Amino acid sequence: MLRAGEAAALLDQQTRDGLVVPDYEGYCFANVPGTVGDVLGVDVGPKLPADALVGVETGVSHVLVVVLDSLGLHRWRRDAADHRFLRRLDERGATTPLTSVASASTAPAITSVHTGATPAEHSVLGCDVALPGAETVVRPFPQEVREDVANGSTAPPVGADEYVTADPVYPQLGGAGVETRVVQPAETLGTEYANAVFRGATQQPYDGLADGAAALRDCLADTRGRSYTYWYTPILDSVTHEYGPDSGAYHDALGRVTHRLSRALYDEVDAATAAETLLVVTADHGSIPLADGPDGSLRVLDIDGVADRLRRSGRRWPRGDGGRVPPFGDPRACHLAVEPGEVEAVVEAVEAAGATAVTRERARELELFGPSDAPGWERCGDVVVVDRDRALVYPSMEKVADFAGIHGGPTPREMVVPFAAARLSDLQ
């Protein structure tokens, strides 16, 4: 059960300069793999505080981590009672609020949950990854140079194992005798990014929700020794973008997902296996709704005094922008590379437009993306633009202007996610 006041206390502790800063040393999504490793007797990195599993039987052989992309704590509280899968976890297990990482977006957070590292440590700071030396921007999903900066080929100039600067946890788990699997939609597996970040785990594809739930059930049935199975679905995230996180469509999609999981795990796993299994349900981030029309977005390059102060590059980008480095990062935490001596002017321009500008130096002081001495800071913009309510639109991110819901920003609804855990036999 979610203990009253915990989320409010976490937000109070982690809110600085009006931003929710990740609790990297405590209650943070990045520490989930360390907690899994601890349950299985393997040290793979920082773990959540012990009270995240208070009252939960952890003397088990198997751990299942189910990640429901875009299920923030806000929706957990609102919907758990309506869906058997969540309701039983809420009533019979322990539910703890965690912060996401920054930015609270899929690429940084998912990289964290497979490496146990903060974004500053694994260097994936947003859905766009700037590679300063190569003067280009790479998208981990789908592992290619961003279209608006590609001069012909979209093949990244370096492999995923070079732009992700932290190792996955799976080789350590496997070396200690733990069988590891990553179970995801087929189209998300087998890429260069997947092969780098899931290295050491068996990649198990599924086609459709029913097949995915059955695959999760079968992973338990097929395991003989200790095991860790990670299962992921993007369904809620897709519905969020199209219909919004407060929509009936979101509630219905959550019902479809949890119904399949409930049948597979609560009804079809045998009692002896369930007694040896810890189930964790969590999320990479939450989401906010966006207003319709121009009130829902801010076009970053239309802010007076921004475009002409972006840093000049040694190359000419395909968009014909005079060789200036285009925005990158995330449409809720947009990074700007700025000409020397122009940072203060850009900060003033952004704040005059009603958004918030955080300099790289201040972001580093706050450890917004992770430890201040980590390698990923070289990929941080000179200015990071965030906004409480709007999507930040820039070249290659025009599509977000039409979104009904979005994530990635430093607000409570985006940053606070559930971590729900129980022994599977206690849920049957």
Residues 204 and 243 reside in one and the same domain? yes
pLDDT for the residue numbered 1: 59
Residues 12 and 91 reside in one and the same domain? yes
Residues 171 and 78 reside in one and the same domain? yes
User: Does any domain span residue 154?
Assistant: no
Count of domains for the chain: 2
User: Does any domain span residue 12?
Assistant: yes
Whole-structure pTM value: 0.96
Half-sphere exposure of 155 (CA within 13 A, CB side): 4
Long-range CB contact pairs, 152-156, < 8 A, 24+: 156/131, 156/192
User: Does any domain span residue 285?
Assistant: yes
* CATH number of the domain that residue 302 is part of: 3.30.1360.180
* CATH number of the domain that residue 44 is part of: 3.40.720.10
pLDDT for the residue numbered 151: 64
In SS3 terms, 65-108 reads as EEEECCCCHHHHHHHHHHCHHHHHHHHHCEEEEEECCCCECHHH
User: Does any domain span residue 140?
Assistant: no
Given the DSSP bridges, would you call strands 277-282 and 416-423 parallel, antiparallel or unpaired? antiparallel
Residues 78 and 92 reside in one and the same domain? yes
User: Does any domain span residue 147?
Assistant: no
Residues 263 and 178 reside in one and the same domain? yes
Residues 224 and 315 reside in one and the same domain? no
Q: Which tokens sit at 196?
A: 């780098």
User: Does any domain span residue 155?
Assistant: no
Q: Pick left, alpha or beta for residue 189 (phi over 0 → left; psi -120 to 50 → alpha; otherwise beta).
A: beta
Nearest to 81 by CA among 146, 4, 2: 2
Say how far apart CA 178 and CA 219 lie, in whole Å.
13
Q: Please answer whether residues 353 and 347 qualify as being in contact, where contact means their C-beta atoms are separated by less than 8 angstroms.
A: no
Residues 188 and 285 reside in one and the same domain? yes
- Phi first, then psi, for residue 195 (nearest 5°) are -65, -30
Say how far apart CA 182 and CA 227 lie, in whole Å.
11
Residues 245 and 325 reside in one and the same domain? no
Nearest to 99 by CA among 178, 193, 10: 10
Residues 310 and 187 reside in one and the same domain? no
- Domain extent at residue 388: 293-402
pLDDT for the residue numbered 143: 75
Residues 279 and 297 reside in one and the same domain? no
User: Does any domain span residue 364?
Assistant: yes
User: Does any domain span residue 37?
Assistant: yes
Q: Which tokens sit at 261?
A: 């999981």
Residues 261 and 392 reside in one and the same domain? no
pLDDT for the residue numbered 145: 77
Residues 67 and 113 reside in one and the same domain? yes
Say how far apart CA 27 and CA 46 lie, in whole Å.
10
Dihedral (CA of 161, 162, 168, 170) sign: positive
Please give the chain's pLDDT, 428 residues, in tens.
Answer: 556 568 999 999 999 999 999 999 999 999 999 999 999 999 999 999 999 999 999 999 999 999 999 999 999 999 999 999 999 999 999 999 999 999 999 999 999 999 999 999 999 999 998 887 667 888 888 777 787 766 666 777 778 888 899 999 999 999 999 999 999 999 999 999 999 999 999 999 999 999 999 999 999 999 889 999 999 999 999 999 999 999 999 999 999 999 999 999 999 999 999 999 999 999 999 999 999 988 999 999 999 999 999 998 765 554 545 678 889 999 999 999 999 999 999 999 999 999 999 999 999 999 999 999 999 999 999 999 999 999 999 988 999 999 999 999 999 999 999 999 999 999 99
Say how far apart CA 376 and CA 332 lie, in whole Å.
19
Dihedral Cα 261, 262, 264, 270, nearest 10 deg: 140
